[in-house]
Each structure stands twice: as C-alpha cells, then as structure tokens.
Amino acid sequence: MANLQTEYPRPQFQRKDWLNLNGEWNFSFDDQELGLQEKWYQNFPAGQTIKVPFAYQTENSGIGDPSFHEVVWYNRTFSVPEDWQNKRIQLNFGAVDYRAWIYVNGEKATYHQGGNVPFSADITDLLVAGENSLTVRVEDPSEDTTIPRGKQYWHEESASIFYTRTTGIWQTVWLEPVAETSIKSLRWTPEIDRGDIEFETELAGKISGNTKLRITVSFQGEPVLSEEVTVFQPHIKRSINIRGRFPDRSNIHGPGWYWSPEHPNLFDARVELIADEKAVDTITSYFGMRKVSIENGTFMLNNKPYYQKLVLDQGYFPGGLLTAESDDALKQDIVLAKEMGFNGARKHQKVEDPRFLYWADQLGYLVWGEMANCAEYSEEAVERISAEWIEAVKRDYSHPSLVVWVPLNESWGISRVAREKQQQHHSLAMYYLTKSLDPTRPVCSNEGWEHTVSDLCGIHNYQSPEKMAEAYRTVESAVAATPADRPIYAEGFGYRGEPILITEYGGIAYDTKEIDQKNGWGYSAVQGGEELIEAYRQNTKALLDSSVVQGFCYTQLTDVEQEINGLLTYHRKPKCDLSEIKKINDGK
C-alpha cells in the first residue's frame, strides 16, 4: 500500500501543531443523488471505505473504479487534541475536485468550487467535546467541458492526450489550532538589485494596541536579521534590507546568496505575532533571493542570460493519478530530471501540489506554473478559470523556483482565438490579470501558438530535426513557421521581441512493455534505448545549435497511461542511459 503524505502540506506557511486527517474514511457513491434528501451529513450510510487523499478512480484509494460517479460522499470522525483548547480550529483542504460541501457534526461548515486550489473553514463553533463527525459531499460533472479540468478526460476511457479523471479529495486534509488573532497570509518578494526582501502579511482577528510582528531571518543557520514591527492594521507590507546584514559580505554579489538551479540558496524565516508580550501565532517559512526578468529580448535569471532546459511534467502517477503516493515520489521526479541535465520543468495542465514546489525550491529546479484549462469556451468557463487562477497565483507566489506563469495552453478553451475578438479578449484578460497579481514574473499568454500579448514566445513543434533546424535559423522564420498548422500569433498581434523558446518538442515513443499499453503512442517512435538517445540527440541539437532559441521543453518526463513518449516509464524506470541524455543537454 502506498504511503500517505505525512509532511506539512503548506511548506511556506507552517504551524507547529497540526493534525493530518489523511487515511481511511467512509465513502459512498450517490448515483441516485439521495444523500441530501436522506441527510447523509447527519447519518452516513454504511458502505465502502477510501484512502484519502487518493481519488476513487485510483488504485491507491482502495477502490480503483474509473467509471462515472458524479456525486460522492466522504465521512470520518476526529477528536481535537486537548492542548488545543481556547484556540480557533481551522479545517484545511489542499484540493477537492470539483464542488465540495463540508459538514461538521451535521451542520454545514463551508462550500467551495474549484478542483485545483486550497480552501479552509473555521469550524470551532460546530465542534463538540470528544468525537466529532466530518462529512464531505462532492459533485464532479464528468462531461462538463467548461470546468478547468486539464488532462482529465470527459469520456470514461482514456484516449489520445487525455487521461483518467480525478474526483473528490486529492490533496491532504488537516486541522490546526489558530489564535483569536492570527496570521492569515504571508508572501515574500525578493528585490536583489536593492538587496531587499519585501515582506507582506494579512492578519485575522482583533488587533489591540499592543500587537507586534517579529520577523527573524537566518541563512544556513547563521542569523541575518530580527525586526519587530508594531501593528495598527490587518495588512502589513515592509521591505527589509538583507545585503547590509549578510554574514559573509565577501560573497553577497555572487552565487553565495542568490537562488538558482545551480545554487539553490534559501533563507529561513520565522514570523511571530505578539500580543501583550506573548507570541500567539508563529509561522515558519523560507524565501529565495532570485530575480526573473526579460532584458532586450533575453530571458534573465539574477540579471544574467539563462538558457532554460526544461522537461514537460504532467504530474501523473500510476497508483494515484494526480496524487503522488508520497513526498519522496514528488522529490524523485525532480532528482531524475536533474540527473538528465534538465534545469526545470513545465508543469503541464496541472496546479501542482505545493510539496513539489518545496522540493523544486530546495533542490534548485525551475518551474513554469500552468493552469488546468477548460476544453470549451463559455462565459461561465471564463468565470471558473479566472477565479481558480487567482487563487493558484496567490498560493504559489513566494516560491523562488516558480519563474513563469502559463494561464492558457494551445488555445484550449479558446479554440477560435486566432480570429475571434471575444476569445482574444479572454487571452488578454488572463495575461493582464496574472500581471496584476504578480508583476515579478513573465507570463506566456497562450502556450504553443496563437499568442496575443505575451512576455515569451512559446512554440510547440513536433516536426523532424531537419525541419526544426530550418525553422529556427532566424527570428523571422521562427515566428512565420506554423509547425502545427497554427499561426504563432493571433490575428492582430505579432512578435514584439520576446524570447523564443520551443516549449514542446520530441515526444518520442518507446514502449518498454513495462505494462500493457493500450493504443500506446507518441509523436514519433523508436525501438530501443540507444535509438531513443540518438533521436533525442538529433532533436535537441537542432535547438541547441539555433542562435534564435533561448530554451526548450522536451516532451516528456514520464509515460502517462497510453502516452508512451516519456524518457522514464510511468513507474519512473529509465528507458535509456540517463547520463547520455545529460551529456546531450550539456552540449557534449
């Protein structure tokens, strides 16, 4: 049986005390939609059990049923630890797909719509002494293509580039005690040119005349600063200079304190909310001093040109689909990618678990954060994707590994964007919405083709190495080419000097017969590990030799169900000598 995730699920906003609610829950399908009428939130029917946080479609859930069940229910009991008395009790969900109604002891606690982002509820007033009941009702309309579902297919059987669905709880559920006055949110913005870290927080609850916030920062165990701020309002924003206080001033301009894939230096932080001389809330966090910018058409990391060697990572796992079976599984994907000489990943059509971003921060690994898209356009789809994207950007803002935002991919949900103004306005709206939330990172408006306004020109090209070499001889030929019979820019828009990256290519299929691959496919095919290495060499060399291309993203890291074009199998076994892939990525 797979391990259940035991690490704190919100790594940049950690409290010491918490109670993990993963594990065995009672579970029931509600195909006849009787649950509300029969008040299952008060009297849960006897039936199946499920292993949370795995969706019922997965083997790790203990159910493994891929068929349509659009309404499901969960139930379990819990007891609040005795030493949490006189605290507010917060119930947290990492992600529940798609609509969730939460009940505690038969009373509604909260409702949330959106399958990719977290939500919380203060359940203090619903609790009783001793054992408490927690019930979750979930609706996940299987065939609604205006829901932001990414690669989850709206048919029962996987096919082409679409995979088995995820319904219900798929990330960690936990409780934690929170003071009457507490820290609600926290974010870090590095300003390396000034040597500052900008600290921003929002407080919840009453603020007395004697409330303070203490910020303590250390680097590799050595103290850097400790500052105390008197609090008069819920929102606090402050820039603190680190450069002048850095313990080793001889190395403050070099890799010794900046964050990069080669030198993933992180500062540890502790934020304490102090009321009447007593710490009532303490958050441990971290940040990296890192800058991403585009200067004169060049992608820059920490004010130096940086060539991105990315791999497409869809974040699917054979036993858990969107849910990794353990924290180590998330870490291992990064370790294997770095072993092959990749310096980052484009997380494809998935808002990834924050634990993945934690390991990317710790190990030094660039990440492109991408929204799970709708398949079709409607005004309701616009509302749904916009609301979730706002939450995703806010959630992941402080991770130094995250360097590019991708709200839309390959015109998914905007299939007529090439010429239709309304869908072009949606692309523009998502671009500017993202910039309004985070002006520090580049935004790729519509990954692959049919860009409107965009900070990067991301192109998807699965043509032969010869055709790619020809296409990327000059800027003019690069933006004029239509490798997927789609224009690179939508009508009325054009190239404005942004960096050009080939953000999907390769896709070379090689079936190792590890599992029975039904209709296994790729964009081209080889018969063995040596052939795969040679094909990878030819495809990648065409891009490395180009004076126009500033980075690439190879398709893909692992096989996913019927798609067998990974460098690793679905079970993360190498298909070839990974050191040879590294030599190619290193230009050797």
For residues 153 and 250, state if they share a domain: no
Neighbouring C-beta atoms of residue 243, cutoff 10 Å: 17
More confident of the two residues 57 and 251: 57
In-domain check, residue 322: yes
pLDDT, tens digit (0-9, with 9 covering 90-100), for 93-149: 999 999 999 999 999 999 999 999 999 999 999 999 999 999 999 999 999 999 999
Q: Could you give the percent of the chain with pLDDT greater than 70?
A: 96
For residues 235 and 382, state if they share a domain: no
Q: How many residues does the chain have?
A: 588
In-domain check, residue 295: no
For residues 52 and 118, state if they share a domain: yes
The alpha-carbon radius of gyration of the chain (Å, integer) is: 24
* CATH code for the domain in which residue 159 is found: 2.60.120.260
For residues 206 and 167, state if they share a domain: no
Q: Give the mean pLDDT of 348-367.
A: 98
Q: Give the mean pLDDT of 484-494.
A: 96
In-domain check, residue 531: yes
For residues 112 and 253, state if they share a domain: no
In-domain check, residue 293: no
Q: Which of 258, 287, 316 is the last residue of a domain?
A: 287
pLDDT, tens digit (0-9, with 9 covering 90-100), for 268-299: 999 999 988 899 999 999 999 999 999 999 99
> Quick one: pLDDT at residue 501?
98
pLDDT, tens digit (0-9, with 9 covering 90-100), for 200-214: 999 999 887 789 999
Contact 274, 211 (CB under 8 A): yes
Q: Which of 161, 178, 195 is the last residue of a domain?
A: 178
CA 271 centroid distance within chain: 25
In-domain check, residue 545: yes
Q: Which two tokens stand for residue 19?
A: 């109670």
In-domain check, residue 4: no
> Quick one: pLDDT at residue 2?
43
Q: Could you give the percent of the chain with pLDDT greater than 90?
A: 88
Residue 415 has pLDDT above 60, yes or no: yes
> Quick one: pLDDT at residue 6?
76
Residue 494 has pLDDT above 60, yes or no: yes
Ramachandran region, residue 315 (left: φ > 0; alpha: ψ -120 to 50; beta: rest): left
Contacts of 18 (CB under 8 A, 6+ apart): 8, 174, 175, 176
For residues 371 and 352, state if they share a domain: yes
> Quick one: pLDDT at residue 303?
95
> Quick one: pLDDT at residue 465?
96
Q: Which of 178, 193, 220 is the last residue of a domain?
A: 178
For residues 264 and 335, state if they share a domain: no
Q: Where are the beta strands (DSSP E) in 436-555?
A: 457-460, 500-506, 508-509, 524-525, 549-555
**Mean pLDDT, all residues of the chain:** 94
> Quick one: pLDDT at residue 5?
67
For residues 398 and 520, state if they share a domain: yes
Q: Which two tokens stand for residue 209?
A: 């005349």
In-domain check, residue 294: no
Q: Give the mean pLDDT of 31-42.
A: 96
CA distances to 140, 468, 581 from 546, rounded to whole Å, are 46, 9, 19
pLDDT, tens digit (0-9, with 9 covering 90-100), for 380-413: 999 999 999 999 999 999 999 999 999 999 999 9
For residues 151 and 186, state if they share a domain: no
For residues 189 and 163, state if they share a domain: no
3-state secondary structure of 417: coil
Tally of structural domains, the chain: 3
Confidence of residue 219 (pLDDT cuts 50, 70, 90): very high
Q: How far is the C-alpha of 390 from the C-alpha of 187, rounded, in Å? A: 15
Q: Which two tokens stand for residue 516?
A: 């029975």
Q: How far is the C-alpha of 407 from the C-alpha of 395, rounded, in Å? A: 15
For residues 321 and 336, state if they share a domain: yes
pLDDT, tens digit (0-9, with 9 covering 90-100), for 510-519: 877 765 555 7
> Quick one: pLDDT at residue 1?
37
In-domain check, residue 386: yes
* CATH code for the domain in which residue 348 is found: 3.20.20.80
* CATH code for the domain in which residue 262 is found: 2.60.40.10
Q: Which domain holds residue 499?
A: 306-585
3-state secondary structure of 425: helix
For residues 80 and 46, state if they share a domain: yes
> Quick one: pLDDT at residue 515?
53
Q: How far is the C-alpha of 85 from the C-alpha of 548, rounded, in Å? A: 62
